[in-house]
Amino acid sequence: MTGLDAPLGEIAVFALAIAASGVVSGLMAGVFGIGGGAVLVPVFYQALGMLGVEEAVRMHLAVGTSLAIIIPTSLRSFTSHRARGVVDMELLRSFLIPVPAGVVLASLTAAYLTSEGLRTIFAVITLVVALRLLFNRESWRIGITIPGNPARGVIGAAIGYFSTLMGIGGGVMNNTFMTLYGRPMHEAVATSSGVGVLIAIPGTLGYIWAGWGAPGLPAGSTGYVNWMAVALIIPIALVVTPWGVRMAHALGKRQLEIAFGLFCVSVSARFFWSLL
């Protein structure tokens, strides 16, 4: 299954597997209140592995496809939050160059990075996120004012760089950055939706370029983005995510942090295990 000329049966199996992964990721994204990238990447990686997609392209394809899916969801989220006036537009404007610059650098890195290298980065950062969630304290602060340039620019570039290598919208990293400087969580989440737009659009284009003509890609892929998965996941996520949201309301904030922290530990362990 390496192109659009793949047998119809293989394409159908691939579509069903991706649709199932959309149900799982959409449900978990709703439960944990995240954009979905941190869930989509490991789910895609597993689904592609079960379908026999080559290891050399599997992780890159999971990351690139996740970024493409984040585009419409981050745009919708950003416009909604901005309409409510809770987005820090001054901070977002200051990220207009640094974040995409980090994305471009990450795309160049992904073009030469092996599957093992990409999985290592994902595993390490996911473990760091898990530890923060599991041991988080509201009192943790670095300061009371977000730093200006050049420090802010470096941080923005780092958020864009590592988020692109992980296939996420930057929400986890930007939320951490803003809350460590005393910003309210709702403002951090709202601003992160805009950061997601700055990451997902150039990131998707970058992964298309990085994987252009790569051997072993499954049907319906352009570079490291699989459009079959994109087309299936978005409507499924719109339907399933509210179910997860309802489940989340039955749990407390700390319970959700611990649950997602444990999920991140399991994902990190899975990727570390795959490197052995």
- Which backbone phi and psi does 222 adopt, to 5 degrees? -120, 110
Q: What is the pLDDT of residue 274?
A: 83
Position 40 confidence tier, pLDDT thresholds 50, 70, 90: confident
Q: What is the pLDDT of residue 39?
A: 77
CA count, 13 A, side-chain hemisphere, 62: 28
Note whether residue 219 is domain-resident. yes
Q: What is the pLDDT of residue 1?
A: 44
Q: Looking at per-residue confidence, does 250 or 262 come out higher?
A: 262
Q: What is the pLDDT of residue 107?
A: 93
Over range 247-272, report the average pLDDT: 78
Q: What is the pLDDT of residue 10?
A: 65
126 and 266 Cβ atoms separated by less than 8 Å: no
Number of domains in the chain: 1
* Region for residue 184 given its phi and psi (left: phi exceeds 0; alpha: psi -120 to 50; beta: otherwise): beta
* pLDDT tens digit sequence for 24-36: 766 666 666 565 6
Q: What is the pLDDT of residue 37?
A: 76
Judged against a pLDDT cut of 50, whether residue 246 lies above it is answered with: yes
Note whether residue 133 is domain-resident. yes
Q: What is the pLDDT of residue 210?
A: 93
Note whether residue 1 is domain-resident. no
Over range 205-225, report the average pLDDT: 92
Note whether residue 2 is domain-resident. no
Judged against a pLDDT cut of 80, whether residue 181 lies above it is answered with: yes
Q: Which of 7-11, 110-114, 151-155, 163-167 has the lowest mean pLDDT?
A: 7-11
C-alpha closest to that of 11 among 220, 180, 156, 202:
220
Rounded CA separation 41/168 (Å): 8
- Expressed as residue numbers, the domain containing 52 is 8-274
* pLDDT tens digit sequence for 81-100: 788 888 899 999 999 999 99
DSSP bridge partners of 226? 221
* pLDDT tens digit sequence for 120-162: 998 998 898 888 878 877 667 787 889 888 999 999 999 999 9
Per DSSP, the residues of the chain read --STTS-HHHHHHHHHHHHHHHHHHHHHHHHHTS-SHHHHHHHHHHHHHHTT--HHHHHHHHHHHHHHHHHHHHHHHHHHHHHTT-S-HHHHHHTTTHHHHHHHHHHHHHHH--HHHHHHHHHHHHHHHHHHHHT--TT--S-SS---TTHHHHHHHHHHHHHHHHT--SHHHHHHHHHTTT--HHHHHHHHHHHHHHHHHHHHHHHHHHTTT-TTPPTTEETTEEHHHHHHHHHHHHHHHHHHHHHHTTS-HHHHHHHHHHHHHHHHHHHHHHT-
226 and 53 Cβ atoms separated by less than 8 Å: no
Judged against a pLDDT cut of 90, whether residue 243 lies above it is answered with: no
Note whether residue 144 is domain-resident. yes
Q: Give the position of tokens 């904030």.
A: 253
Percent residues over pLDDT 90 in the chain: 31
Note whether residue 3 is domain-resident. no
Rounded CA separation 85/24 (Å): 32
